[in-house]
A and B are shown apart, each in its own frame.
Chain A
Amino acid sequence: MPTPRVILSEAMALEVGGKEPWPSDVKLYQPYEVEQILLPDNANCLATQAFLKMSKLQYTVEPRSNAEFMSPSGKVPFIQCGAFVVSELEPIVSFVASKGVSLTNDLDNGEKADMRAYMSLISNVLATAELFITWCDAQTYKQVTKPRYGSVFPWPLNHLLCWQKRSSVTKRLHVLGWANKTLDDVFHEVDQCCQALSERLGPKNYFFGDKPTELDALVFGHLFTVLTTPLPNNKLAATIRGYRTLVDLCKRIEHEYFELPTST
């Protein structure tokens, strides 16, 4: 049990540690990309990587089979920066901001609120849809999710842990009211979300003018992952492809920040 004194000193350490500049040995932990990672996790990892690249912060990717279990919040990715371990995009954004680096300095308060609203739209709709397809669509679960998620565990843990994860995701979808949706409902939700995003983007290069923000990173992470991940049911990717400007945004960010050959 941490005593109150310890908590206080931790908070002080965070304060003091936060003032130090970005070290060069920051590591980003995520599951293995080729054989293990799943659609929702990959989206979050890519979004975080895009954010770090946009902020011009150095990091190295450390693939670990137990990344999910190492993470303080149980979600990937997380970064290790000195003594600090921070997981998921939004906490990482505020951690980076505490080091004096921010992509939203030029935005006024109204735009910042807008950006947060769109970010939560993506986590509420796109991320949930990815979870739904990955864990609740029987075909995808059987053909993709189960073999990939279980690939790092020995029998019978692969079945057991997969089942455990599935029930926890299903429980979460129940809370969000998504559990009883059909695939078509989900595609419809995604379509509406993309509609809103493309309206906000308009003809601009990025959501807020010429410079990218964390919203661009998040959109890129999710859309690019969906577009490039082969699934038994590729209707999700098809829905997104209907929005040219969003696909172009993904290509632009990929070209600008990730010099990888594109597969779309």
Chain B
Amino acid sequence: MGTVQAKEAPRNPIDISGLNNRRSENSPKADSKKNAPSNKQAQPTYPAAKFKTVRARVDKVNIEGLSRTKDDIIIESIQPLFSAGDFVEVLKQAHEIRERLVGLGCFNNVRIYIDTSSGKAATPDGLEVTFHVSEMRRLTGAINTLFGSNNEGSVALSMRLPNLMGRGERIQAECSYGNRRTSNYNFGFVKPLRGRSNAFFTTSVFQHFTEQPASGYKEIDRGLLFDLAFTSAPLVRHNLQWETTWRDLSVLNRTTAFEIREMSGPSLKGSLRHILSVDRRDQAIFPRSGTLWRITTEYAGIGGNVNFLKNEAQFQANIPLSNDVVFQATLHGGMLKSIGNTKPPSLCDHFFLGGPLSLRGFESRGVGPQAGRNALGASTYWAGGLHLYSPLPFIKPGGFADLFRAHLFLNAGNIGNFEFTDDYNHNLEVLGQNMRLAYGLGIAMKLGDIARVELNYCLPHMYQRTDAINKGLQFGIGFDFL
């Protein structure tokens, strides 16, 4: 599964593809007793000095609006509230519980009311917390817009049976069609697991169809995915996946190179994958500060006839230079190794480089080994970028203008079937040989909280003769940019 997709579904913390976990960044809005959080930051801030000294104890928690949902998961979720000792802690815990309840995917809306407790059993510092929840209907449906990693937009129809057995289980079915003839069908079952690790178990059956004109092939993937997502420390998210996919590669048209033709045909991949993501950024699109790590390790060779070990890492750091200007550094890298003396990994397992979401200034998959005019991909790549984001000059900030950023970038990368040795310096030299570099400037726009649109003027500076360069304007839409 190559596509990482983001979509507008803030109440859905688990994307069924399992590759993309966005924390719901919405701060609570309907909380009457809380000081309104400053809208520049996602985490609510409290006038701590004032409240920290206020001792508090939660006497009673009411949940209103429950009908289908079973009590046990709710009781478990709200337990931490009773251990709070002061008012700030009560607020924090209440907020976290709200996030958890929303994350279960059972409720349309969760509101919190905090009042002093009354009645016979009331203690002097006692508080009474009330959660007003409204449960989702038994069947929901939606039409969404998706943005894939392929600079492609698509429309998705989805249907969901939320809270099936009262403990947050849901069945979901989704199909999507892209403007580049990509299509996806997905049918899955999701179950939140108990415990503090915010774990979800997902099973899904899927079919993806993609066309890769730059490589001259099309691919149908049909498979089965089991995914266990959990949090091991705050903001440290893990996905453990077991995937079995039947991939069918076929030639796109008559101009496809024979090297691609040779790799067509069906193959079966059985793999275990671990995705570790640590997202300490303040927001996903146009972050101002914080870092993002994502490390993916995949071992293929559990059944099937595809054997490889694939490692990929992404790093992003954001440093605010002044109030509005943000400096961003990114580094991506990946390595693919075949295991044993089995046949080498297939075309669709390779890494590719180039394109508006990857190495800007080059055509999509325009960098690296080629056959004819088709990109073959390679086993190793790295790409890094330095960015400078600032608000649009000469325009008053606020409102509509906040959706835009001026963007100055320099990115570089390399891809190839490199031979590594034990000599560290030699390896670095190999990685740096024939490095590609491009720079430019442009405008980036935020599209909801789900995607980013970029229009850049690119100047490729270092490139190889065979590379497909994109000098001049380049348009990109997507979620994960280099």
A61 near B: Cβ within 8 Å?
Answer: no
Known contacts A154-B268, A155-B303, A157-B268, A72 near B250 by CB under 8 Å = no
User: How far apart are the CA atoms of A261 and B261 in the complex, in Å?
Assistant: 35
Complex partner residue of A154 from B250, B251, B253, B304, CB under 8 angstroms = B304
* A contacts, CB < 8 Å to B: 2, 6, 10, 64-66, 68-70, 72, 80, 85, 153-155, 157, 160-161
The 8 A CB mask of B257-284 against A (1 = contact, 0 = none) is 0100110111010000000000000000
Contact yes or no, A66 B265, CB < 8 A: yes
Known contacts A154-B303, A154-B304, A154-B305, A66 near B255 by CB under 8 Å = no
Known contacts A69-B250, A69-B266, A153 near B261 by CB under 8 Å = no
User: How far apart are the CA atoms of A145 and B268 in the complex, in Å?
Assistant: 21
Which chain B residues lie closer than 8 Å to A80 at the CB level? Answer: 258
Contact yes or no, B255 A153, CB < 8 A: no
User: How far apart are the CA atoms of A68 and B266 in the complex, in Å?
Assistant: 11
Contact yes or no, A85 B266, CB < 8 A: no
User: How far apart are the CA atoms of A66 and B261 in the complex, in Å?
Assistant: 10
Which chain A residues lie closer than 8 Å to B209 at the CB level? Answer: none
Nearest CB in chain A to that of B306: its residue: A154
Complex partner residue of A6 from B255, B268, B303, CB under 8 angstroms = B255
Contact yes or no, B304 A70, CB < 8 A: no
Which chain A residues lie closer than 8 Å to B258 at the CB level? Answer: 80, 85
User: How far apart are the CA atoms of A6 and B250 in the complex, in Å?
Assistant: 20
For window 198-224 of chain B, which residues contact chain A by CB distance below 8 Å? none
Nearest CB in chain B to that of A80: its residue: B258
Which chain A residues lie closer than 8 Å to B303 at the CB level? Answer: 154-155
Contact yes or no, A70 B253, CB < 8 A: no
Interface size class on chain B is 10 to 19
Known: A10-B254, A64-B262; 13 extra A-B contacts, CB below 8 A, are: A2-B253, A6-B255, A10-B255, A66-B266, A68-B265, A69-B264, A70-B251, A70-B262, A72-B251, A85-B258, A153-B268, A154-B304, A160-B246
Contact yes or no, B253 A153, CB < 8 A: no
Question: Most chain-B CB neighbours within 10 Å: which of A68, A70, A85?
Answer: A70
Q: List 29 A-B contacts (CB under 8 A).
A: A2-B253, A2-B254, A2-B255, A10-B254, A10-B255, A64-B262, A65-B265, A66-B265, A66-B266, A69-B250, A69-B265, A69-B266, A70-B251, A70-B264, A70-B265, A72-B251, A72-B254, A80-B258, A85-B261, A153-B266, A153-B268, A154-B303, A154-B304, A154-B305, A155-B303, A157-B246, A157-B266, A160-B246, A161-B266
Nearest CB in chain A to that of B258: its residue: A80
Which chain A residues lie closer than 8 Å to B250 at the CB level? Answer: 69
Least distance between A35 CB and chain B CB atoms (Å): 15
Least distance between A6 CB and chain B CB atoms (Å): 7
Which chain B residues lie closer than 8 Å to A65 at the CB level? Answer: 265
Chain A at the B interface: SS class = mixed
User: How far apart are the CA atoms of A160 and B249 in the complex, in Å?
Assistant: 16
Nearest CB in chain B to that of A62: its residue: B262
Least distance between B252 CB and chain A CB atoms (Å): 9
Contact yes or no, A70 B266, CB < 8 A: no
User: How far apart are the CA atoms of A161 and B265 in the complex, in Å?
Assistant: 11
Nearest CB in chain A to that of B343: its residue: A65
Contact yes or no, A153 B264, CB < 8 A: no
Which chain A residues lie closer than 8 Å to B246 at the CB level? Answer: 157, 160
Which chain B residues lie closer than 8 Å to A161 at the CB level? Answer: 266
Least distance between B339 CB and chain A CB atoms (Å): 15
Which chain A residues lie closer than 8 Å to B266 at the CB level? Answer: 66, 69, 153, 157, 161
Nearest CB in chain B to that of A154: its residue: B305
| In the complex, the 3 A-B pairs of residues with the closest C-beta atoms, listed nearest first | A66-B265, A69-B265, A154-B305
Nearest CB in chain A to that of B222: its residue: A160
User: How far apart are the CA atoms of A123 and B283 in the complex, in Å?
Assistant: 66
User: How far apart are the CA atoms of A68 and B250 in the complex, in Å?
Assistant: 11
Which chain A residues lie closer than 8 Å to B268 at the CB level? Answer: 153-154, 157
Nearest CB in chain A to that of B250: its residue: A69
For window 292-335 of chain B, which residues contact chain A by CB distance below 8 Å? 303-305
Nearest CB in chain B to that of A6: its residue: B255
Which chain A residues lie closer than 8 Å to B249 at the CB level? Answer: 69
Least distance between A23 CB and chain B CB atoms (Å): 14
User: How far apart are the CA atoms of A154 and B268 in the complex, in Å?
Assistant: 7
For window 419-451 of chain B, which residues contact chain A by CB distance below 8 Å? none
Which chain B residues lie closer than 8 Å to A160 at the CB level? Answer: 246
The 8 A CB mask of B215-255 against A (1 = contact, 0 = none) is 00000000000000000000000000000001001110111
Contact yes or no, A66 B251, CB < 8 A: no
Least distance between B431 CB and chain A CB atoms (Å): 33
User: How far apart are the CA atoms of A241 and B261 in the complex, in Å?
Assistant: 40
User: How far apart are the CA atoms of A85 and B262 in the complex, in Å?
Assistant: 12
Nearest CB in chain B to that of A66: its residue: B265
For window 377-396 of chain B, which residues contact chain A by CB distance below 8 Å? none
User: How far apart are the CA atoms of A65 and B264 in the complex, in Å?
Assistant: 11
User: How far apart are the CA atoms of A72 and B264 in the complex, in Å?
Assistant: 11
Which chain B residues lie closer than 8 Å to A154 at the CB level? Answer: 268, 303-305
User: How far apart are the CA atoms of A220 and B249 in the complex, in Å?
Assistant: 34
Contact yes or no, A66 B254, CB < 8 A: no
Least distance between A230 CB and chain B CB atoms (Å): 28
Which chain A residues lie closer than 8 Å to B251 at the CB level? Answer: 70, 72
Nearest CB in chain A to that of B264: its residue: A69
Least distance between B342 CB and chain A CB atoms (Å): 11
Which chain B residues lie closer than 8 Å to A70 at the CB level? Answer: 251, 261-262, 264-265
Nearest CB in chain B to that of A2: its residue: B253
User: How far apart are the CA atoms of A66 and B265 in the complex, in Å?
Assistant: 6
Least distance between A154 CB and chain B CB atoms (Å): 5
User: How far apart are the CA atoms of A154 and B266 in the complex, in Å?
Assistant: 10
Known contacts A2-B255, A10-B254, A153 near B262 by CB under 8 Å = no
User: How far apart are the CA atoms of A65 and B262 in the complex, in Å?
Assistant: 10
Which chain A residues lie closer than 8 Å to B304 at the CB level? Answer: 154
Nearest CB in chain B to that of A156: its residue: B268
User: How far apart are the CA atoms of A172 and B268 in the complex, in Å?
Assistant: 27
The 8 A CB mask of B70-108 against A (1 = contact, 0 = none) is 000000000000000000000000000000000000000
Nearest CB in chain B to that of A9: its residue: B255
Known contacts A69-B266, A70-B264, A153 near B254 by CB under 8 Å = no
Which chain A residues lie closer than 8 Å to B305 at the CB level? Answer: 153-154
User: How far apart are the CA atoms of A181 and B262 in the complex, in Å?
Assistant: 38
Least distance between A1 CB and chain B CB atoms (Å): 8
Question: Most chain-B CB neighbours within 10 Å: which of A6, A154, A155?
Answer: A154
Which chain B residues lie closer than 8 Å to A157 at the CB level? Answer: 246, 266, 268
Least distance between A73 CB and chain B CB atoms (Å): 11
Which chain A residues lie closer than 8 Å to B261 at the CB level? Answer: 70, 85
User: How far apart are the CA atoms of A70 and B266 in the complex, in Å?
Assistant: 11
Least distance between A253 CB and chain B CB atoms (Å): 31
User: How far apart are the CA atoms of A68 and B261 in the complex, in Å?
Assistant: 11
